[in-house]
Each structure stands twice: as structure tokens, then as C-alpha cells.
Structure 1
């Protein structure tokens, strides 16, 4: 007999201690199987042998009804006793070669790995699959305290595994908001090897509705795996309109449409932003026809989320981190556009650490920053940072950088500067409006982030109003988010061009007031006439 064919895409690791009060383990298990779990590992670290065998046997009976294989964590004796499909072992458990000698030749053996060297040994010793992690910090008792490796660390291991074609699943701190980023960012840079799936514990076991939790995860996983099997680059976590004209004229028509939608629908734009620019950002939001709200308390932001059109998180002063964490998660849950402006992210260790923490909790729709900020997120040292400013010239190939980062992060990337570069990982747009006076007033970049959020809200509303057909219905945000990001950039920079040309503008002070006027007065016709964009 040959080994069973295993679908590793949604791999549930059990944990009865994590069940919500009143939830029966077998009831939860069956619901998760209905939701799309494809593989189950029974983990019973603190249970005696007799009870472990009983739990494993009953688990297998439930899984057999759905044709889902069962693996046992570490215990070869339990695996043999219940006739499970195989075992999963850690680095300090029974050595793989010994386990192989004791189990039937058809048994599946998986091994946890954290480093490329451990992955090489897994290949050498004949592992059937590997579990990579922990990717992020987790409260699971098996993984708690271990150093998280991040998606990039997972990618390094996938590179080692590529030639062997051994499948790999990631584990540790994975939940719906960061799942798309994990899949994108972990793709091995040279071989393009990618994850076969994810292993999840608390996101399913701790849920009161494990079927719904499983189904949500499975939709994102399947969407990614379909994109890879079709030999395409994975799309980001927003939808792309089928048949949308991706020409300069087509983009400008869409931007003009979004300007009308925003004025008509007046979406509520939730902004957690730095205290230097709160007033300017609120006024810019009002000037283009939307409505601002600047709530920051975690309880406020959770209740607000269903009503908002989009969320901007600008961590210029990083004084409301808890509110940022909750607001971002809720925006993802409610499928609202989330714009992240990581101000001076490369400037201090605190900012880098905070950015990593935020991005492990939620998935942004758009990331907007100057050259130093985008460079820090991309791991590039071409541009340095001084405070909130970039120092030195821009990147040698900014178009390639934003396209690559958009693919890795699964988000629209907006690189602002003398020219602005915007990409969804497939298309790269270059916008060349704007005026040097923007660099002489505080908060012009932050206001650009505000307007990007505003017009991404417009893009979502436009989709909902017209009920157009979109690809990737399981994605987190619906609407033409690339056009929304472009609209935010163009409205800001074209209004700046018009304001700077006014006779009453004599310097930064008069320019600031004129900019607000021209944001208010800007029409779609003027924008289309003056906009300077290229598709690269």
C-alpha cells in the first residue's frame, strides 16, 4: 500500500483546554470539519495514556465520517493503537528515524522545524511534511516562549524544501487578518516555493462558531492556492474588477467617478492619527465630501467599525496602540479598507517593533509611506530616515520595489515623493503632480493618507452600489482599491498644483489655506485635465 494523499491546506491541531465554556470537544471538532478542515492532529500533552487513546479513537471516528485523516502528536503507541494516519513530532520528541522504524511504511510523519538546517535534516531523514514555526508570537503552550521566525523565516525554510517538494505548513499566531500576508510574504524568493497550508489551534478551537471560523480560513487558503496553481502571482486582499479598463483613461474615469461617489455618499472615515495633524486631516476629509471621526479608545473603535467607510492608522506618535490593534482587526472583520501609514518606521527600534506587532494582528489594504518608510518595510537600505523625513535620493528602481513589496505584503503600496508610485503587485502607476510647497507644511503626507482612505471607501461603496462582478469574493475588501489609492494621491497633488498657482499664495502659510480651498473646489473635470499619470 502507498501512503495516503494528504490535503494539508487547513490543518487543525486540537486543544481541549482552549474550548470556550460549555462547548463540547467533539461537537466543535465536527463543526470545524464541516467548515473545511482537511487534516487533524490530536494533541494531548497532559493526558494519561488511556484517556489519550480514548480521545484519539473518538476523534478518528468523527473524522472518518468526513474522510479527514488523523495524526497523533508525538505518541507512537497511541498512533498504533487507534490506527491513525501517522504522527507529528517536534525537535525534542522521538527522533524521526526511530519513529520511522516503529511505524508502518504507509504512516505519515511530520516534523516541526524552525531553521533551514532543521529543514535539511528533515529532508535527509525522510519527513513526509514539515511544520514551520512559530511564525508569530502565540499563546499555545507548545509554542509559547519560542522565538518567532516571521514570514521571511518561513520563506528561507521553503527555499531549502523546494527541490525535495516536501510540503510545509506554517503554525503560530495565524488568524484571518494576517493569513494573506503570510502566504504572500513567505514565498521562497528564488524557487517561488510556497506553503501547502496552515496549522491552526486557537482560532478554531476557541471559537464559539468553529464551522464559520474554519470556512473563513479555508476561503482565503483556497483563493491563494488557486492563484498559485494557475501560475499567477497571488493577488492582494482586495478584489479587481473584471473587465475594468486598465488604461490611463480608464483609471482617470474611475477616479472621477470616485470623487462623485464620495461627495454623494459622505462616507465616515475613521482616523487614528498623530496629534500633529488631527485638525488638518479632519478638514481635508470634510473638504472632499467625506466625514471624519478621530476615535482612539479600544471600546469606541470596536463599536464604530460596522458604520465606517474606511480606517486610517497613522502611527506618527504611537500613543494609541491598543486602539490601533482593535480597530484594525475590526476593519478586517467588517471588510472595510484599512490604510496604514507607518510614519518614520525605520527611525527607532520601538517603531519597527510596533509596526511588526500591528501587521501581525491585521492586514492593511493600502500601505502608504515616503521612501525611507517604504524602504524600511521592504528591507532596503537605499534611503535613510531622519525623523519623519527621507534622506538622500530615492530608489534606483522604485517601480520594481513597490511591485515586489505589494506582492509580498498582499497590499497596495503607495510610495510618495517627487513622483508617486502605486502598485497592487501587478500594475505600477506613476503619478507626477504635486508642488514643492507640500514639503514645507506639516502633515501633507498624513493628509494624503487620509484621502487615500477616503477614496478607498468610495471604491468600496461604488462596488456595493453597482453590484459589479468581482474576482475573489472571499477576499477581505471588495472594490477597486488601486484606483482608490490613486484617487487619494491625485486629489491631493492636483489640488496642491492649483493652490500653488494662486496669486494669493506667498509661502507655506497661505499655501496651507489655499490647499484646503482647492481640495474643496476640485472637480473631476479639472483633475482629469491636470493629472499626470503613467502605467509602467
Structure 2
């Protein structure tokens, strides 16, 4: 039989239909919108009614050449000649179901744990439903949601097999970008599809909802965010690209939305102006969608995190994701409390960062490592192998990671660059790391805009070069600090800060090229 396109897998639930919308009307509109597989789920329906619904659904799906799968009920699946059956962990074992079903009949199974995925592979399931990614109102959960980052390990267990993988649980158009980019194994094994319930079934416009989901899925599959296949720039090319982005910040004057801590908001705004961008500081969740349209990037800094600021950060991040705007996460002091750790986990389960920057203590806490401890917002040591650490974290989180310190380590998951500029005074002023977050956000905004302009002009680019942007931002601040520290009017940290801002504004691209101390670590 022809292979199945699992990309947009609709799971029905008649209880979610909006008033005035019939089941078959909603289903047909969803099919018109691009649904590629339909699973009929009827948990509380008697056999006769289930059979009738399945027959009507099969006739409609056949008209649009979309395969129909029946949830749980092998008898119903056989009766309507469905394409397959989807089983739960407490349903009939796959090997027994195989004996009852004709050759070519698909069997899928829900998997909530890594062990269940391994057993599904051993049992030769055709596909697995990985659940539940997020909390969902359509099904009572018996397991804690696995989150986007939990999917990567499950997908890795399918490497080398023909078992297809579909994610399910709380998936909507607003979080699909995060899901698609983040749910990839270390070997670049991604999802074959996404299963959606309420975002389509509960919609007054199922066709439009399906079209939106399908377009995001396709765009993400074609996305240049994959770590494999990127053009490998030399050290010199990266520095040249970094200063091109530096010029871009000054010419484009991007608007950088910053949700930052109150301790450093003034210097964060001033450093943003110094690099050539414009800052806007706002935290109200009610305006996040509007600001995502207006701004060119988002910085989320949790330095003075409060429970009432989380909603703004959550909505801000996924609004920026939806608008294809870069998001920089600065997990300030994340290891200081369980509240901060839980909050950052929640943020990273909802939206995809473009860059994560932090010191050794912060990134160790984020990665769940005990190798480096933190004291408040400060780090109390360093990694034995920072190169491997930063590379692995970038690969795990599917983004650029900048580990700051005496030497700065920047990785895209493949390569690691070591930057050795900077004066010791930079680490002694309050908010230097936060100001770096503002610089990175500004440079990523320009990199993204420049890439979009190249696309409009028909140039073949692979999206915003956020590795070079991060390198450029770090070099700008650290090289400027070297000039600021040697000024005659600087006598300590009190006079160093304003001098630093002045030197950032005065720094020229050719100076960065001349003074940049950038090395590349050997490949692992």
C-alpha cells in the first residue's frame, strides 16, 4: 500500500464541537484544510453508534483519499475496512492484534515512556503516538507530560527503525513551532507528524485551523534550523559576518523587546541604544502578541522573576516564535531556587529559544548538572570540559548556547568557538551579563532581518546566522571593555560603566576584526 503521510493527524472528539457545527461538517472542513490522517476516538459510545460514525467517517475520508484509523476497537476497524487501528498500553498486545488483522493493516500504539517506545519497536508497531507533550483537556492523563525536550530521547530510541512517530497532547498552532524544532533526537531524528484534537475540532473554522497547522508543520520541516547541512564558515568568515551584522544593527535600528530584571533595566536600555538598536521594556501578557509583531527580537531575562511575570514571558516567547522572531533566554540565577528552575523548564516547554546565554553556574543548573555550583546569580567555578558541555547543551536545546566567563564559549551544537577578549572590570559591575543579553538580542534581530531581506531578493541563504550574531555581540561588549578600562577617566567600577557604554557606541567593525581573539575547538 501507499505510505501514509502522518504530518497532520486529526483525532476526533465530538464532545468538543462548537455549537451549531455538526461532526461530519467539521470533519469535511478539516479534510479540506489539509488533514492527512483521521483517527476516530469514541470512548463512551456503544458499538452500534460507533460503527455508524465510523462508516460515515470512512466514506468521507475515502472521498478525500485520507486514511482512517480506529482507536482501540479492532472489530470496528475490520468492519469498516479502516486503514489501521491505534492501541493503548492496556489494550490488546500488538503481536496478538497482528494475527487478527489482514496484511498491510497499520497498528499504532500510544507511548508515554522510553521503555514503552522500546517495546513498541520490538513489537514492530507501524507507528507510535508519543504522549502527552503538554497538559490536555481532551484526555485524563495518567502520566506527567513529557514536554518537548523529553521527546528527543524517545525519538532516539527509534533510530534505524521504520517505526514512524507522531506527537500528541496539547498541540496547537501557537506551540507547534516549539514542538517541531525542539523535538529532535541527538541524531537529528524528528517527528513524522503531529496529532491534534481541540485546535481543529473545537474551532468554528476547522479548515482554517488545519491549514494553519499544516503550513507551520511544512515550514518547520523545511526549516534551516537543523544542525546538519549548514554551510561551515571559517573563523575569519564568522568574524566578517559578525561585523556585517554589527553594521546591520546600526543601519536597521531594530526594535528589541526586553523582559528584563528591574536591577539592570536602565543599563540594558542604554547598551541597546549604544549598539544601534531601540529598546522597549514591557511585561504585560495582554500586549505580547502586538509587541511580537512590532519588535524584531525578544529578550527574556529572569533576574527578578515573579509569579505574576511568568504569563508575560510565556506569551511573549510563543508570540515571538509564531512571528519567526529570535528569542534570547538569559536564565539569571536559575539555580538559586526551585521556583526558578521550574519556571525556566515551563518556559522551555512552551517556546523555542534562539540563544541561551549564562555563566557556568546558570547553565549547569539548566542542564541538570552538579559539576558547577552557583551562588545567587554568580558561578562558583567552571567545567572540566566546557567545550563538550556547551556543545552538548546546544544540541539538546536546539539553539545557540553562550557560556560566559573569563573565556566565552559559543556553540551551535556542532562547533564551539572560544572568545578570549574582555577586561576583568567587566565581571565586577552589576548587570554586565544582562547587558550582553541585550547585545545578543540586538544582533540576532539584525541577523534575522538581513536574512529575510536576502530571501526577498532571491538570494540563497539558510536563515539568520545567529552563531555569528552571538559572536559579534560578545566581541562588541568585551573589546569595548578593554578600551573602557584603559581610559584616563576610569578609576573603578563606578566610572567604568558609563565609559563602557560610550566605547560600545564608538567601536568600529574594523577594530573588532583586528582585535578579535577567537579560536575554534576541535570537533568532537
Say yes or no: TM over 0.5: yes
The residue number in structure 1 matching 2:193 is: 197
The answer to whether residue 235 in structure 2 is matched with residue 248 in structure 1 is yes
The answer to whether residue 142 in structure 2 is matched with residue 150 in structure 1 is no
Aligned length: 515
Deviation, 1:294, is 0.7
Q: For 2:326 and 2:188, locate their aligned partners in 1 and report how far apart those are by CA, in whole Å.
A: 29
Q: For 1:106 and 1:383, locate their aligned partners in 2 and report how far apart those are by CA, in whole Å.
A: 53
Q: For 1:180 and 1:409, locate their aligned partners in 2 and report how far apart those are by CA, in whole Å.
A: 14
Q: Is the CA contact (8 Å cut-off) linking 1:251 and 1:483 kept in structure 2?
A: yes
Q: For 1:425 and 1:161, locate their aligned partners in 2 and report how far apart those are by CA, in whole Å.
A: 21
Q: Is the CA contact (8 Å cut-off) linking 2:360 and 2:381 kept in structure 1?
A: no
The residue number in structure 2 matching 1:414 is: 402
The residue number in structure 2 matching 1:484 is: 469
Deviation, 1:453, is 0.4
The residue number in structure 2 matching 1:331 is: 320
- Higher mean Cα deviation, 204-213 or 275-284? 204-213
The residue number in structure 2 matching 1:270 is: 257
The residue number in structure 1 matching 2:486 is: 501
Per-residue deviation, residues 37-63 of structure 1 (Å, max 9, x unmatched): 332211122334333333322322232
- Higher mean Cα deviation, 8-17 or 413-422? 8-17
The residue number in structure 2 matching 1:458 is: 446
Q: For 2:262 and 2:19, locate their aligned partners in 1 and report how far apart those are by CA, in whole Å.
A: 42
CA separation of 1:156/1:367 partners in 2, compared to 1, >3 Å: closer, same or farther? Answer: closer
- Higher mean Cα deviation, 345-354 or 148-157? 148-157
Counting only pairs closer than 5 Å after superposition, residues 418-457 of structure 1 correspond to structure 2 as: 418-457=406-445
Deviation, 1:110, is 1.6
CA separation of 1:161/1:332 partners in 2, compared to 1, >3 Å: closer, same or farther? Answer: closer
User: Of 247, 261, 272, which aligns to 2:248?
Assistant: 261
CA separation of 1:162/1:518 partners in 2, compared to 1, >3 Å: closer, same or farther? Answer: closer
Supply the RMSD in Å over aligned alpha carbons: 2.9
Q: For 1:265 and 1:152, locate their aligned partners in 2 and report how far apart those are by CA, in whole Å.
A: 35
The residue number in structure 2 matching 1:386 is: 375
CA separation of 1:248/1:194 partners in 2, compared to 1, >3 Å: closer, same or farther? Answer: closer
User: Of 369, 373, 376, which aligns to 2:365?
Assistant: 376
CA separation of 1:219/1:22 partners in 2, compared to 1, >3 Å: closer, same or farther? Answer: farther
Deviation, 1:310, is 0.8
Q: Secondary structure at the match of 2:266?
A: helix
Q: Secondary structure at the match of 1:170?
A: strand
Q: Secondary structure at the match of 2:340?
A: helix
Deviation, 1:15, is 2.5
Unaligned runs of 5+ in 1: 228-232
User: Of 287, 290, 302, which aligns to 1:300?
Assistant: 287
Q: Is the CA contact (8 Å cut-off) linking 2:7 and 2:214 kept in structure 1?
A: no
Q: Secondary structure at the match of 2:464?
A: coil
Per-residue deviation, residues 309-364 of structure 1 (Å, max 9, x unmatched): 11101111222111111111111111111111111223322111111111111111
Per-residue deviation, residues 375-407 of structure 1 (Å, max 9, x unmatched): 2333333211111111122x2332332222222
